[in-house]
Structure 1
Amino acid sequence: MEEPLLRSPGFRNLFVANAVSQLGSQISYVALPLLAVTVLGAGAGEIGLLAALSTITVLVLGLPAGAWADRVRRRPVMIAADLARAGVLLSVPVAWWGGWLSMGHLYAVAVLVGAGTLLFDVASLSLVPGLVGRGRLTSANSLLVGTSSGMDIAGRSAAGVLVQVAGAPLAVLADALSYLWSAAWLRGVPEPGSTAVREVAVREPLGRQISAGVRFLFGDPVLVAALVQGTMANLAFPLCSVLLPVLIVDQLGYPEWVLGAYLAVGGLGALAGSASAHLIGRRLGTGRATWLVSLATAPASLLIPFLDRGPWLWGAAAAWFVLTFRTGVNNVLLVSLRQRVTPDDLLGRMTATMRLLLMGAVGLGGLLAGALGEIWGVRSALVTGALIMAVSWVPILLSPLRRQP
């Protein structure tokens, strides 16, 4: 009988580091746009740009980051990313206390934190198969994604209350401290993998390494289908969520904790989906599970644009739960599938290429949300996102991915 994953010191330390970091990140997910709206008077366009910049960095650094992660030891990269993000976020409360905080400052923070998150995530996802073995990837990712979703709930709920009680700058400070704590836990994570493979990778030109990763991803129809459906979902989610601080707090007049509670419902849905993904995948197979769950849940997005005062708010929140349940299932099953079919020496590059396009879609969605909000109003962004989400299961149905065991 195999030892439980959390009894393995290496995986346990990685698990705790991810959990602590995610808790703080979700606080800033709520606190930064609320800080922009309530302290700096930001409008829809500025909030959309702020959301986009936190992910658009991936478009510039994504491919080189993946090749670099396949050349170097991954744990030091993760620790350095944590320390860098902590320093950048600490500048926000300092600037606020000093009276020189501006939207330009927040834009710079979004770019730098996005770069740190990219490096951390690429290294982390590439590290997991070596820590647990490919046969236990679904169980490991279920724990990691489920805990991340739990931190979504705790972090976003806490953020709404913390911003209302102590102010957004102190909420951002909490995120900075969480990265320091994460870096401390990562010191106990071992570094599996072949030194010889990395020495060969270092001798190979960076451009050739990057090209090999891109060719591998686009040469596999299963990975391409996972990429297309993920890109559609990642484009739709920011369209449905980026302007919620403007709609819920500014236009509908709800207190900040309501926004935190609404977003926390999404964390609860992702937690439920990730917790049940292993069972669903084992019963239906990875392919059938991903497209059937997507088909059953995606139409719930059509309720999101009706978000308003009274029961419509919580009806939209229920739809948000359903959509994020699907995300929890897909994150566990499809990330595990990607790790299973990718050789160790290509994991960093495959992950970075996938992340480049997936997170690029998130950035584009944030920009599009801001543009639509400025031109036609907040609800136009919600409608656009809902329509894209409603058909995002089609790429899986039309590909070999739906037959994957």
Structure 2
Amino acid sequence: MTSPQSAPPVSPVALFAHRDYRHLFGAQLVALFGNGLTTVALGLLAYQLAGPRAGAVLGTALTIKMVAYVLIAPLAGAWADRVPRRQALVGLDLVRASIVLMLPFIDQIWQIYVLIAILQSASAAFTPTFQAVLPDILPDERDYTRALSYSQLASSLESLLSPLLAAVLIGVVSFHWLFTGTAAGFLVSAALVVSSRIPDAVRRAGNPVVLDRILSGVRIFAATPRLRGLQGLNLVVAAVGSIVMVNTVNLVQQTLGRSESDVAWLLAANGLGVITVALSVPRLLERIGERTLMLTGAGVLLTAIVAALTSSTAVTGDWRWPVLFPIWATIGMGTGLVLTPTGRVLRRSSSAEDRPALFAAQFSLSHACWLLVYPITGWLATTTGFTTTWAVLAVLAALGIVIALVCWPRRDNEPLLHIHEPGTDPNHLTDARPLPGGGHVHAHSIVIDPNHRNWPKLVGTAGEA
């Protein structure tokens, strides 16, 4: 693979000339915008049905979403190499469109919970499958890195523009029509997936039992030091991001007494923060590693939640509203710095046949963190207020940073010198040096696979061989 220092810059024009990537990026973009409209509309629907208890209702709905993500994603990853991926993605888009069209007609809180469970189960199967397609159609790491940046940029544009679009539409029609926009997004997404050529996943050798397939991605996470560190960063993103997802509606409308449109504007500030860093990440990754960049993003997130906590106690009156905008934008910046390089870390940590399971595991484990923090953010804020809630979340974010620092080694990108015991596949040992007492020693970048079922005992780095 060409090194970042010697390779020419990846042209955006050249990347979008790739037909399949262009269609899949378009599918992601329109589905994200539909989802963004639903995010705003769901918060407003909860406020319409529950009033002051909207935060608790929304927190419960989002908790149900996270339960679906945690439970369904590993199942989807286990079967990703057993079903045609294009047909599966199209079918899941159609299911999501059908469910969203039902949301405007509900008038009971329990109905929100049922439909959200079905909708998010489909999303939990769709998203990791979709994410695992990109490295298969873009094998060059520089193309893939830029594609990750564009995916994050698409999410950022959605975070920025969907609330703005929602703010405009709410001034003209009922917010219930926003759900129609979501359904349209899913249908367009399905059409674009149909028009793309998506390769089926590489099947694992043999026929492992279902439980092994379900747990394979989680086992890779548990055995890989950098991925254990990534889980700490997942906790930071969830702890800080939950105040945006859960608390914004009640903070703006109930506490500050402002309008529905102001909810959308504050959410847009968060999206603007992500956008300011998304395009710079590919260049930053040419100069510094994923570990440094992502830990910097975690530090930005911790700073933002400390600022939010300070504002809840030290800022009062008319000043509180404008102070929220830079805080929400900073949360977006930190989120972008952590999330954009994640796909590169996953790709570097897996073989092709294990990649769908690992992407599914990241999807599931990252949302397990959201499952932890959503009830805290929704119910604790309802019963004790924002100050106590944000203090608890700040502690969780600090804990996540400690986990990342301890688990993710500094010398993470170097080929590692390690010993293989007798019985290792000879094809893997073609460049290895035999040892007098048996076994072999050689150096390469490590991934957990049949030849490295556990992280090997290290002898040193390649330069010490």
The CA deviation string for residues 54-86 of structure 1, in whole angstroms up to 9 with x for no partner, is 222123223211111232222222211111111
Partner of 2:225: 221
Q: 2:406 aligns with which of 353, 376, 398?
A: 398
Partner of 1:320: 328
- Give the Cα separation in 2 of the matches to 1:48 and 1:297: 21
Q: In the alignment, does 2:378 pair up with 1:370? A: yes
The CA deviation string for residues 318-375 of structure 1, in whole angstroms up to 9 with x for no partner, is 1221222121122121221112321111112111222212112212222112221232
- Give the Cα separation in 1 of the matches to 2:15 and 2:285: 19
Q: 2:192 aligns with which of 185, 202, 210?
A: 185
- Give the Cα separation in 1 of the matches to 2:372 and 2:301: 23
* Matched-pair identity in %: 22
- Give the Cα separation in 1 of the matches to 2:327 and 2:52: 28
Give the secondary-structure state (helix, strand or coil) at the position aligned to 2:298: helix
Contact 2:150/2:279 (8 A) holds in 1: yes
Q: In the alignment, does 2:38 pair up with 1:28? A: yes
Q: Of Structure 1 and Structure 2, which has the larger fraction of its residues in helix?
A: 1
- Give the Cα separation in 2 of the matches to 1:341 and 1:356: 17
- Give the Cα separation in 2 of the matches to 1:128 and 1:85: 22
TM-score by length of 2: 0.80
Partner of 1:60: 71
- Give the Cα separation in 1 of the matches to 2:398 and 2:174: 37
Q: 1:344 aligns with which of 345, 352, 355?
A: 352
Give the secondary-structure state (helix, strand or coil) at the position aligned to 1:242: helix
- Give the Cα separation in 2 of the matches to 1:341 and 1:8: 26
Q: 2:174 aligns with which of 167, 171, 179?
A: 167
CA root-mean-square deviation: 2.2
Contact 1:286/1:404 (8 A) holds in 2: no
Give the secondary-structure state (helix, strand or coil) at the position aligned to 2:27: helix
Contact 2:97/2:182 (8 A) holds in 1: yes
Structure 1 outlier segments of 4+, above 6 Å: none
Cα deviation for residue 219 of structure 1 reads: 0.7
Give the secondary-structure state (helix, strand or coil) at the position aligned to 1:314: helix
Contact 1:130/1:193 (8 A) holds in 2: no
Q: 1:242 aligns with which of 218, 221, 246?
A: 246
Q: In the alignment, does 2:94 pair up with 1:91? A: no
Give the secondary-structure state (helix, strand or coil) at the position aligned to 2:216: helix
Change in 2 beyond 3 A, CA 1:264/1:189: same
- Correspondence list, 1:135-146, <5 A: 135=141, 136-146=143-153
Partner of 2:295: 291
- Give the Cα separation in 2 of the matches to 1:382 and 1:91: 34
- Give the Cα separation in 1 of the matches to 2:24 and 2:175: 29
Range moving further from structure 2, 316-325 or 185-194: 185-194
- Give the Cα separation in 1 of the matches to 2:249 and 2:355: 37
Change in 2 beyond 3 A, CA 1:199/1:337: closer
- Give the Cα separation in 2 of the matches to 1:404 and 1:281: 14
The CA deviation string for residues 158-181 of structure 1, in whole angstroms up to 9 with x for no partner, is 223323431221111111111111
Q: In the alignment, does 2:29 pair up with 1:19? A: yes
Change in 2 beyond 3 A, CA 1:286/1:242: same
Change in 2 beyond 3 A, CA 1:184/1:298: same
Change in 2 beyond 3 A, CA 1:292/1:378: closer
Based on CA coordinates, which of the two structures has the bigger radius of gyration? 2
Q: In the alignment, does 2:209 pair up with 1:198? A: no
> Which amino acid in structure 1 is aligned with residue 147 of structure 2?
A
Cα deviation for residue 49 of structure 1 reads: 0.6
Partner of 1:132: 138
Unaligned runs of 5+ in 2: 1-7, 414-465
Give the secondary-structure state (helix, strand or coil) at the position aligned to 1:372: helix
Cα deviation for residue 309 of structure 1 reads: 5.0
Q: 1:106 aligns with which of 87, 101, 112?
A: 112
- Give the Cα separation in 2 of the matches to 1:403 and 1:172: 48
Range moving further from structure 2, 314-323 or 26-35: 314-323
Aligned residues: 397
TM-score by length of 1: 0.91
Partner of 1:37: 47
Partner of 2:450: none
> Which amino acid in structure 2 is aligned with residue 287 of structure 1?
R
Change in 2 beyond 3 A, CA 1:9/1:321: same
